[in-house]
Amino acid sequence: MLFVVRAEARSPEWWTRVTTTLARHGYRTKFIAVFLNSPDANFTVA
């Protein structure tokens, strides 16, 4: 299954819980973040 979501709208902890829950039910997942509406500051190297 492939779907697009606003990755930046959820915390890393939330995504970890989702992938863990899916794995428990036998679903192997790959998470590839697609930032649809992320501020430029997220891509600035400090």
**Segments in the chain forming alpha helices (H):** 12-24
d(C-alpha 31, C-alpha 6), whole Å? 12
- More confident call, 21 vs 10: 21
- Domains identified in the chain, total number: 1
Structural domain of 19: 7-37
Is 15 within the bounds of a domain? yes
Banded pLDDT at 35 (limits 50, 70, 90) = low
Q: What is the mean pLDDT of residues 21-37?
A: 82
| 16 closest CA partner among 27, 31, 1, 28 | 31
Rounded Cα distance between 38 and 40, Å, is: 6
| Residues 15, 9: Cα–Cα separation, whole Å | 10
Residue 19 falls inside a structural domain:
yes
Q: Does the pLDDT of residue 26 top 80, yes or no?
A: yes
Instruction: Find tokens 């902890």 and name the residue.
Output: 13
